[in-house]
Structure 1
Amino acid sequence: MFIYTTADMKACNMKSTASQFDMFDAQTDQLADTQSTLSSQVKSKTKPVDTDEALASRLEKTGRFRILRQLTPRPIIARQDSPFEKLAIVIDTETTGLSHQTDQVIEFGAVAFTYNDDGSFGDVVGVFNGLQQPTIPIPAEITRITGITNEMVQGQVLDIKAIEAMIAPADLIIAHNAKFDRPFCEKLSPLFASKAWACSVAEIKWADLGFEGSKLGYLVGQAGLFHNGHRATDDCHALLEVMVQPVGRNKTIPFAELLQASRESRIRIYAENSPFDLKDHLKKRGYRWSDGTDGRPKAWWTEVDETDYAAELDYLRTDIYRWKDAEPLSIRLTAMDRFKA
């Protein structure tokens, strides 16, 4: 028979309590160690969060994806801060229709940039964008294409003085289809008529550079970009970006090709009084018909490089007129008068 005193009971209780606390503490320490180990393992396996560009690059490297990046306009600096000598301006117009005689400009955009004579690109030094309310309602089809509504242009007037101040020092005006834009621009201001013009559709051989077409949307997409198309200044930024990026096997700069083409003269030949039964021959060779309503001769006509003029003249004399002394009307064109209406 065992007899426990109060002192023995207290001692026993204290020992038991101590044992319980010791066990709890040990479990707590073990749990903490386990959590710490797991946390370290998780941290060691967690990779840094990928940026959008890193994710895009990873997809491209698989060879199974092509990524389009949103076009970001280049920063603008002051003209005097750019060391490049020359000034070019990319322009674009949105209009109520296709005829410069009856339709009107509803938006004008321009991006000015510097360059050197060797075709090297400098800096963006100016941007202009403006809307204008026409005297006729904007056709629904134009609104569908451009996104410009009658409400957007209500009360809007283009700042012609600001446009002229931007254009005045320009050495070259560039448009993606200058034959369309130049006549509209000359209606806005006669200053446009005194400038050299270049056309990025007609004077850059995009197919030779690996592009599938010359429409701006095709060019931008194949350059790996996308933008808000069919708004004047956005299209200017997009065209500029496509022109200054090296492309093709030889890493050609399209702008340098355009600049060189703009310096060369071309000859416009009118095959006046050509036999009617030979019109299909002329058409197949690339001649176009002028109906005479714009002040030009009523005749089939074409444009050739100066170096190709002799061969074209020989073709007309031999195959069309069949008279060795035939002298069809020929007009020499430079960038100053090319693409006029």
Structure 2
Amino acid sequence: MMSQFDLFAAAVAPVTKAQHLSKSQQTEMDVDDEAMARHLEATGDYRILRKLRPRAIAERLRSEFSHRGVILDTETTGLNHRCDEIIEIGAIAFSFNDAGEIGDVCDVYGGLQQPSVVIPADITRLTGITDDMVAGQSIDVDRLRALIDPADLIIAHNAGFDRPFCEAFSPIFAKKAWACSVSEIDWSARGFEGTKLGYLIGQSGYFHDGHRAVDDCCALLEVLGQARPHWSETPFAELCQASSRSRVRIYAENSPFDLKDHLKARGYRWSDGSDGRSKSWWIELPEETLQEELHFLRTEIYRWEADPPVKHLTAFDRFRAS
């Protein structure tokens, strides 16, 4: 019991006395706190979540990291990029190399924007952004362009949502390569229980203030760069490789209605034509599986030598609104 009491007392001390400590004394206590955390973890009875601290902007960028990436997040008034609006953008520019190793943080931007409508109550509950906060605010496009223009790759945690909103907001996002940290990383194989950012952060050993754009960008950068046991590459390295591969989108036009469940079970999704795609079942796959998928369609769906439409996609095309 005495050892438990001593441990608790040591943990409380920095909270009550930190304001009176010198910088060196505070550093020593931080070290003691970390030692305590490691001790608890070593027992096997505890999991410690450390507060995620954003990486500092580098004063000088290392030349060996020659590529530029931008992690981007948006908060919006709703889910439809055609009628809803961005109310906040967060972006973190960073350098990386050919191996997919993250280098330095180059710049950070976060900005609010007053929409043309009242922010829905459910959006305020989710994001914490109120009408008073955005009143008279506008996103600094020139400041944002300074991050986006040099970017070789833009990463969003659900790029299929963020890219259409960003391209509707400004032409600076046109002709950029995009990657999705939800769909282009096999998080399950890496031992994660879900793809939501909160799951990824928690299972990486951190906690953070979520649902604000820059905070979420900082969190995602940390998760993408974290090495885990039994993996030779980071999630970001996997993402870079996935984004560099060409993919194909196959439209099973005029497929028999009675075989729709067969298509659905294989992973096809229905497009009603309202999003600019063909009115058909469709699927997106790695380019190397094209012939295999065409064989499936011809033998099990059409049962003749059909030639369904195929669209080839790169990172410059993927996740764009049709």
1:332 aligns with 2:312: yes
User: Aligned residues, how many?
Assistant: 294
RMSD over aligned CA atoms reads 1.5
Mean Cα deviation higher: 254-263 or 185-194:
185-194
8 Å contact 1:82–1:123 — kept in the other structure?
no
Q: Matched residues in 1 for 2:39 and 2:127: separation?
A: 35
Q: Which amino acid aligns with 1:58?
A: H
1:168 aligns with 2:149: yes
Match of 2:180 in 1: 199
- Secondary structure of the residue aligned to 1:208 is coil
The correspondence of residues 193-272 of structure 1 with structure 2, limited to 5 A, is 193-272=174-253
Match of 1:23 in 2: none
Query: Structure 1: 5+ residue runs without aligned partners?
Result: 1-46
8 Å contact 1:164–1:189 — kept in the other structure?
no
TM-score by length of 2: 0.89
Q: Matched residues in 2 for 1:146 and 1:51: separation?
A: 35
Q: Which amino acid aligns with 2:314?
A: T
Query: Of 120, 127, 135, which aligns to 2:108?
Result: 127
Q: Matched residues in 2 for 1:78 and 1:170: separation?
A: 19
Query: Of 61, 67, 73, which aligns to 1:92?
Result: 73
**Greater Rg by CA:** 1
Q: Matched residues in 1 for 2:168 and 2:220: separation?
A: 23
Match of 2:50 in 1: 69
- Secondary structure of the residue aligned to 1:281 is helix
Q: Matched residues in 2 for 1:122 and 1:220: separation?
A: 20
Match of 1:294 in 2: 275
Match of 1:309 in 2: 290
8 Å contact 1:109–1:232 — kept in the other structure?
yes
Q: Matched residues in 2 for 1:129 and 1:67: separation?
A: 30
Instruction: Give the deviation of 1:81 after TM superposition.
Output: 5.1
1:280 aligns with 2:261: yes
Q: Matched residues in 1 for 2:183 and 2:111: separation?
A: 27
Instruction: Give the deviation of 1:177 after TM superposition.
Output: 0.3
Q: Matched residues in 2 for 1:337 and 1:81: separation?
A: 30
- Secondary structure of the residue aligned to 1:107 is strand
Mean Cα deviation higher: 85-94 or 114-123:
114-123
8 Å contact 2:193–2:199 — kept in the other structure?
yes
Match of 1:146 in 2: 127
Instruction: Give the deviation of 1:295 after TM superposition.
Output: 1.3
8 Å contact 1:92–1:233 — kept in the other structure?
yes
8 Å contact 2:178–2:316 — kept in the other structure?
yes
Q: Matched residues in 2 for 1:234 and 1:71: separation?
A: 9
Instruction: Give the deviation of 1:119 after TM superposition.
Output: 0.8
Q: Which amino acid aligns with 2:174?
A: A
Alpha-carbon displacement from aligned partner over 1:163-193 (angstroms, at most 9, x marks no partner): 1121001100000000000001101211212
Identify if the C-alpha distance between structure 1 residues 131 and 82 changes in structure 2 by more than 3 Å, giving closer, same or farther: farther
8 Å contact 1:90–1:110 — kept in the other structure?
yes
- Secondary structure of the residue aligned to 2:174 is helix
8 Å contact 2:62–2:103 — kept in the other structure?
no
Mean Cα deviation higher: 81-90 or 194-203:
81-90
- Secondary structure of the residue aligned to 1:195 is coil
Q: Matched residues in 1 for 2:63 and 2:198: separation?
A: 30
Identity of aligned residues (%): 62
8 Å contact 2:71–2:154 — kept in the other structure?
yes
Q: Which amino acid aligns with 1:255?
A: F
Instruction: Give the deviation of 1:82 after TM superposition.
Output: 4.9
Instruction: Give the deviation of 1:227 after TM superposition.
Output: 0.4
Query: Of 53, 57, 69, which aligns to 2:34?
Result: 53
8 Å contact 1:160–1:188 — kept in the other structure?
no
Alpha-carbon displacement from aligned partner over 1:280-339 (angstroms, at most 9, x marks no partner): 11111110111101211100000010111111110000111000x210000000000110
Match of 1:319 in 2: 300
